[in-house]
Each structure stands twice: as structure tokens, then as C-alpha cells.
A and B are shown apart, each in its own frame.
Chain A
Amino acid sequence: MTFLNFFINGISLGSIYAIIALGYTMVYGIAKMLNFAHGDVIMIGAYVCFYAISRYKLPAFVGVIGAVLICTILGIIVERLAYKPLRQAPSLAVLITAIGVSYLLQNSALLMWSSNPKFFKPIIARGAFKFFDGQLSISHITILTIATCVLIMIALSVFINRSRLGKAMRACSEDKGAAQLMGINVNATISLTFAIGSGLAAIAGALLCSAYPTLTPTTGSLPGIKAFTAAVFGGIGSIPGAFLGCLMLGVIEIFAKSYISSQLSDAVVFAVLIIVLLVKPAGLLGRMTQEKV
């Protein structure tokens, strides 16, 4: 029964990773860049949410919406100021800029909110559903997390595959020049992608800190990296792949923490990633694209 508990916790953690990873991979797909600052947007979202709920005593959903709005705007601003001028630059230059943005966000947070950890108040009441005489307990936040994740997954899949803007995003991620020749405003489409990704990051931040309530300026970096790793693990560019990869990673991480060692859990997670990539170099659900000769 403890096994089942761990498993559900793993799924819950994986769901948070999945929400982060969706934003990460969408941006990766369209801008072809590893946006290392994505994790820090999560942190900003969590802080906004924290201040709205704990300091200004606003209702939780207002806090979350506020966080989403602010992160969306932040995402667009960062893209416009830091990444857009580098559209033609080599990818490594963009990577370094993203790292610079990450430092910038972290240190701004440090100045504004200090390095003292904040104790995050969950966005819904603490409590749990108990089964089998309390042997199996599923907390409310776990259910909310998993439900939110599934909802976002479905909405995003429909948006990308069916809607006009979603198709424009796919077109841009394949060939920006050709997309422009179709009359697609590439810059606006990229901004939209950053906006959606950052909005999702804010939601992930609120959920992450509801489940793991200590909030510091570096809260976002490791989950950000892990979520991206999980997306690679699932097969980058594939939404179901990212989802599956993140769930598996969450479960593996919780199991490693519980059964092996909490200090080594990250090492185990990364080791599994490496093994998977060795067996399936394009990730679990990724397509191996043979370079045309």
C-alpha cells in the first residue's frame, strides 16, 4: 500500500513536471532554443501567487490568475527584449542569453524577496481522501494537480492540432521563412508561444509550491531542468511524449527517494534518462528523423 502511495505521489510530481515541460518544449519547438529561464518563470509565478494569497489575503484562484497574467507578460517581455534580437544568432549565443535571463530573474527575486524561504500556503485546503482504513491517502492537492495537468494536455493538443493559430505555430516551428510567405506573423506567433509557455509555468509554480511548500529564488531551476530532461526522455517535440516522460520521471524520482536514498535520487533519475536515450536515442515517443542525404 505504501507502494501505491508513492506511485500516486510520483504521478502527481510528474504532472507538475509535465506542465512545465509543455511550456519548455513548445518554446523549444518554435524558437529552437533551450530556454533555461523557464524554471525561473515558475519561481516568479509562485512568488506572485504567494504574495497574493498570504500577504494580500486574496482568494487562491485570484492569486493563480494573477500569477498567470504576470508570467505571461514577463514571458513576452523577455522574448521581445532578450531573444528576439538574436533570431539570426548562433544557437549557443541564445543559450547563453537564456542563462543570463535566468540569473537576472533569480537575482531580481533575491533582491525583492530575499533568500529566506517563504512558506507557501497551498492553493486549496489541505486534506486528503483516505482509502483502506487510511492506508492509502490521496491529498486534495494531488488530485487537483493531476486533473489540471490532464486538462491542460487535452486543451493544448486540441489547440495545436486543430486551431488556426496552433497550426501557424507548427508551421513556424518547421520553417519560419516559409511561414512568413504564407502571411503568418512569425514574431507574433513566437510571442504567443512564449506567452502560453510562461502562463503554464505560473500554474506549475503554484502547484509545485502547494505540494512542496518551501519557496526560494532558486526553487524553479532544478524542476525546470528536470522537466526538460523528462521531455527529452519522452521524445522532444511530442506532447504525449513529454507527458509520458514526465510522469515516468516523477514516479522514478519518488521511488528513488523512498527506496534508495533521497540524496541520490537525482542521480538515479538522470541515470535512467541516460539509459533510455541509449536504447531509444529519440526518446520514448520521439520520431527518429533520418537526415536526408
Chain B
Amino acid sequence: MKRNKTKLVPVPSKAMIPDRDVARAPVLECINLGITLGGIKAVEDFNFTVGRTEIAGLIGPNGAGKTTVFNLLTKVYQPTTGTVLLNGQDTHGMNTVQVNKAGIARTFQNIRLFKNLSVIDNVKAAMNNEMKYNMLSAILRLRDYRREELAAHHRALKLLSIFDMQDMADLRAGSLPYGAQRRLEIVRALATNPSLLLLDEPAAGMNPSETAELMDSIIKVHEMFQIAIVLIEHDMSLVMNICEGICVLNFGHIIAKGTPEDIQSNPAVIEAYLGRKK
């Protein structure tokens, strides 16, 4: 389950920040990515690279195209122009399902859990592709059914325990408090064994103390799994604290890329997004 920790190598790279992980190919490369939705260029010339264990932030005003970028990466929309390379492999022509199998998992801006399933079944559903038993085994409860279900059960509990949620395994997912639902969505995404995790406004609707807890959880996930994480977020305390690199979108264009410090002092970003400090 655990990936080996990559070495930090100081080599100049296309990955924004930090200059590491580039001994091997970056996990994600977007080259001139663009899409036209309803006659409007929702995203254009999106060039973006994420290192193998990088945490990157995607920020920008509403309607700037952040979620659209996620939808392009996960093939909810097919890009009109450009290329997405995932682990060096062109994702052209793939659909959402194939992209997930190739290693991208995501959460959603508006929580999208399987509300009527139990917490653990939400996680197990995400493990469906690693279970191989067929319908006959399921109906007759043959040995491979029992073996695979048991394995899945243990792994699901283990994943839930990262967020200290193993006690809630049998509860209905829709009955969980808001913060727990956000966490469960992350666990579900992790259950598909992604190499790149996309988080769409994970702290939306949380108060500062909940956000702080979430921040710890994201760091924990990152350290445990050594995967790349890209997050969209409006909560600047979260973004500036955990992202190593930040990319700012406005009207579908990248207006700035850099470290949190760079971004915070970038006049274009202040103008379009952050607003003047009081």
C-alpha cells in the first residue's frame, strides 16, 4: 500500500515548486490544455506540472475555471485542445473510469457520497476494481467471494482509521456530520490507489478549527501515501500553509505560479483575487 519515499533531488525542473522528484517523470503534466464550453473558452493554455509527491494549490476567483480544470483532468469534460500526461502516459481518449484506473482520484466541491450506503461500503465500492470474483461466486458465496470481501473489509477499516473513522464504519454515510463526510470522500478517493489526488474545496463550509484539523489530515495522507495532491481552496490559511506550489487562475488563464510567498506578494494576484490587505 505504501509507496517508497522519493528522494529529494535538487535538479532544475518544470515542476513548479519544489525542485525535486524529477529524477523520474512528474505525475501530471498539462500541456496547453483548453476547453470551450458553450462558445466560451473556459480554460485556455493551461500548462501545469505536478511533481510526484508535491502538494499544489489551484486558486482563483469564482468562475475562473478551477473546477473545470479538475473536470478536464478526470475527463468529465473532454478537452478541446492540449494534452494531459499522467505518469508520462497520454490520457487522450480516456473516460472518467479509465482515468481513475490510471491513477487520478478526486473529491467534489459539493459532497458526493453514496448517502444511503454505510461508511465502509462507500470505501469498499471504491475498491470494486481490485475485487475479481464473479456473479456466481457472489450468489453462491463461494470461497473467492469470502476471501476478497474479507480482504477488502480489512483494508477499508485500515483506511478509515487514518481519519479515526473506523468506529463509524456501519453508519449511513448521509447521517455523518459535515466534516466527517468531507473526510470520507477523501478516504473513498484514496481507496482507488491514486497517484494523484484532487481535492475540490475540501475546507468549504468548515470553521477555522475544523479547517486546521483537515489540514493535519491532508498532511498525514501525504506523508503516508507519498502521493501528489492538488487542491482547490478559498481558505488562504490552508492553501498558504500546506501547498508547496500555487497556481492562480483568472478567466481561464494562469496569471501566476510560484511559492506561497511569491503568490501572496504578486500584484496581479492581489488585484484579481486576494484583495488588498487591511
Contact = CB atoms under 8 A, between A and B. Distances in A.
A155 interface: no
| Interface magnitude class on chain B | under 10
Contacts of A293: 67, 71, 76, 108-109
B73 to A, nearest CB: 12
Residues of A contacting B: mostly: loop
Nearest to A292: B110
A293 B70 CA distance: 10
Interface in B83-139: 108-109
B23 to A, nearest CB: 35
Nearest to B74: A293
Interface string B61-81: 000000100010000100000
Contacts of B71: 293
A293 B42 CA distance: 15
Contacts of B76: 293
A28 to B, nearest CB: 26
A293 B198 CA distance: 13
Interface string A263-293: 0000000000000000000000000000001
Nearest to B106: A293
Nearest to B67: A293
B273 to A, nearest CB: 22
A293 B109 CA distance: 7
Contacts of B108: 293
A282 to B, nearest CB: 15
A79 to B, nearest CB: 30
A293 B68 CA distance: 9
Nearest to B70: A293
Interface string B41-71: 0000000000000000000000000010001
A293 B73 CA distance: 13
Nearest to B109: A293
A92 to B, nearest CB: 15
A55 B167 CA distance: 75
Q: Which 5 A-B pairs have the closest CB atoms?
A: A293-B76, A293-B71, A293-B108, A293-B67, A293-B109
Interface of A: 293
5 contacts: A293-B67, A293-B71, A293-B76, A293-B108, A293-B109
